[in-house]
Structure 1
């Protein structure tokens, strides 16, 4: 079953999820003040990942209640190397003031070690980063401008279809996850790492925005995959995933073609045994509409184990090849589309 969300408030008067399901637009309004859980249990984040054929940048601003996080990852896909650095902030509990919408409001965080800003300007998303101490003092800084490319159904910079899902958790009435994934964001700008400057061109650099707000249960496992680029001369991307919460009302699986969303049902990740980047992954669907192989390039692995708090992450970057079937029955072939797939286990 794939239930489509109707417009309204995300939470009811008791702080519970008013409706579970999916949409291709931000139809439910999130209000932190309506959450029934204490502030230390609320988790909010904005995450951008922008990839070129050779390099990539990922930026995170997260308020996870008892811990905030500023994260920067620089990916050298050609050399199969990455550097990730995080700054932890104790007990922000809402003071980071992350916006209640994915389409309005700025995120600006200044810390003595780094400065990150996500701003909205006239239909564009402006990302800024300045991290002088990055990678042993090499430093990383720059600005990227992200826009939704013009398609047959939308003008450049407009807000076309996206993946939106409201997910409850079994046996946890006040727990929920409200998530939006916006693919196919064309990127322009420069990032300087050390003494080298890297150009991001909108014909070859594409990003995804992951906007999450919710109250989570303690122990969770999730799988997420995303890719954006050009297929058949048209903007193309997809979002796939599962693993946490009660997704009986809707999955988060969706394909985007030329600014139009095509809803998928269930997709399963088949990981190679004993490795994350040493052998291909496989993806299958219950209805045959999403069938892919994935050739890994680089595993961005991270592990924090404090016993009570634990996060084991494997975000693997690589290329997808296979096919998707759209809502109207058309089949699209995909060859070497750059993206990522991940497995994350959290106790938080």
Structure 2
């Protein structure tokens, strides 16, 4: 178990000299941190939106690694298994706009045949994205009382990460895929946000699992938070966050990513059953990434703070391992 403080007031992520603000370390139920990062070379900023519908899974990445902008638009046709992807690496992160507050301001990136624009307002988010053969226009409302998990993970005073994981958001709009239009909406369509701002070590591995269904969602992480005193684990029931303050055990087969994954620990006994593996690899010498992101269904349970168990059966989402040198 960890002993994680809950923060309830707005706070700057960094001190004036660019080091981690000790008062920023903790977790929140809504975005309260301003990522006033300073310096160049180790700062990482990104917005990842994952959208799940009965017919498609969509992933959007807008990011700055300082020396490059790394962006992508990805669509999986769940019926056929066909992937459509546009990826771009933009030197020195030119034309990248990533605001310091989650849920406020405009996100904008373009290059390499793709464009992503994200408008963030107090009542929700509007997303427009284009790639080769893909156009997406959706709205992601923010329901009243909906909570998200914000966490600051401190490796040291100069290496730290602020993340917001916002799960189970309703989404509606339109996807155009290779000339065919698909309406997005209904109770089985949802969006997940991963907002990240921080200064990272050169090499890092992480696990991330996220799944949702009407009224329920699970957010689980591992490896990258181990030993920091913080976790990014939470159960959401009816939009209410139940923080899970414990490091979890992850078990999966790196020689067969489509075998079931198991994630267990205090208040969590989850299995993840993949139906598709998405592989991403980048090797630019000193900079490299390998990510195995599996899409699938969850079974098992997670418990609220008072011990009540919530079934995870039927949640749809993903589990991944990412290994980075950056």
TM-score, reference length from structure 1: 0.87
Instruction: Return the alpha-carbon distance in structure 2 between the equivalents of residues 108 and 312 of structure 1.
Output: 25
Paired position in structure 1 for 2:73: 72
Instruction: Return the alpha-carbon distance in structure 2 between the equivalents of residues 110 and 173 of structure 1.
Output: 33
**Would the alpha carbon gap of residues 174 and 121 (structure 1) be closer, same or farther in structure 2, given more than 3 Å must change?**
closer
What whole-Å deviation, never above 9, does each CA across 1:295-322 have from its counterpart, x for those lacking one? 1111110111233111011011000011
**Does 2:282 match 1:297?**
no
**Does 2:13 match 1:27?**
no
Corresponding residue to 1:243 among 215, 223, 231: 223
Give the secondary-structure state (helix, strand or coil) at the position aligned to 2:315. Answer: strand
Corresponding residue to 1:165 among 146, 151, 156: 151
Superposition pairs for residues 12-161 of structure 1, below 5 Å? 12-19=15-22, 20-32=25-37, 35=38, 38-92=39-93, 96-111=96-111, 113-121=113-121, 123-131=123-131, 134=132, 139-148=133-142, 156=143, 158=144, 160-161=146-147
Cα-Cα RMSD: 1.8
Contact 1:53 1:77 in 2 (8 A): yes
What whole-Å deviation, never above 9, does each CA across 1:118-141 have from its counterpart, x for those lacking one? 11246121111122xx1xxxx111
Paired position in structure 2 for 1:268: 249
Paired position in structure 2 for 1:153: none
Contact 2:73 2:130 in 1 (8 A): no
Give the secondary-structure state (helix, strand or coil) at the position aligned to 1:335. Answer: coil
Misfit runs of 4+, over 6 Å? none
The farther-off stretch of 4-13 and 81-90 is 4-13
**Would the alpha carbon gap of residues 273 and 59 (structure 1) be closer, same or farther in structure 2, given more than 3 Å must change?**
closer
**Does 2:203 match 1:219?**
yes
Paired position in structure 2 for 1:152: none
Contact 2:103 2:122 in 1 (8 A): no
Paired position in structure 2 for 1:200: 184
Gaps of 5+ in 1: 149-155
Instruction: Return the alpha-carbon distance in structure 1 between the equivalents of residues 147 and 98 of structure 2.
Output: 22
**Would the alpha carbon gap of residues 307 and 130 (structure 1) be closer, same or farther in structure 2, given more than 3 Å must change?**
closer
Superposition pairs for residues 305-316 of structure 1, below 5 Å? 305-316=283-294
Gaps of 5+ in 2: none
Please state how far the C-alpha of 1:327 moved relative to its aligned partner: 1.2
Give the secondary-structure state (helix, strand or coil) at the position aligned to 1:25. Answer: coil
Please state how far the C-alpha of 1:273 moved relative to its aligned partner: 4.7
What whole-Å deviation, never above 9, does each CA across 1:65-115 have from its counterpart, x for those lacking one? 11102210101122233232211100127x623111111101123446222
Give the secondary-structure state (helix, strand or coil) at the position aligned to 1:39. Answer: coil
Instruction: Return the alpha-carbon distance in structure 1 between the equivalents of residues 288 and 192 of structure 2.
Output: 26
Please state how far the C-alpha of 1:282 moved relative to its aligned partner: 1.0
Please state how far the C-alpha of 1:324 moved relative to its aligned partner: 1.1
Instruction: Return the alpha-carbon distance in structure 2 between the equivalents of residues 122 and 222 of structure 1.
Output: 30
Instruction: Return the alpha-carbon distance in structure 2 between the equivalents of residues 47 and 145 of structure 1.
Output: 15
Give the secondary-structure state (helix, strand or coil) at the position aligned to 1:106. Answer: strand
Give the secondary-structure state (helix, strand or coil) at the position aligned to 1:248. Answer: coil
Please state how far the C-alpha of 1:280 moved relative to its aligned partner: 1.0
Please state how far the C-alpha of 1:202 moved relative to its aligned partner: 3.2
Contact 2:274 2:296 in 1 (8 A): yes
Instruction: Return the alpha-carbon distance in structure 2 between the equivalents of residues 5 and 110 of structure 1.
Output: 37
Instruction: Return the alpha-carbon distance in structure 2 between the equivalents of residues 204 and 104 of structure 1.
Output: 26
Please state how far the C-alpha of 1:251 moved relative to its aligned partner: 0.7
**Would the alpha carbon gap of residues 191 and 121 (structure 1) be closer, same or farther in structure 2, given more than 3 Å must change?**
same
TM-score, reference length from structure 2: 0.92
Give the secondary-structure state (helix, strand or coil) at the position aligned to 1:203. Answer: coil
Instruction: Return the alpha-carbon distance in structure 2 between the equivalents of residues 309 and 294 of structure 1.
Output: 30
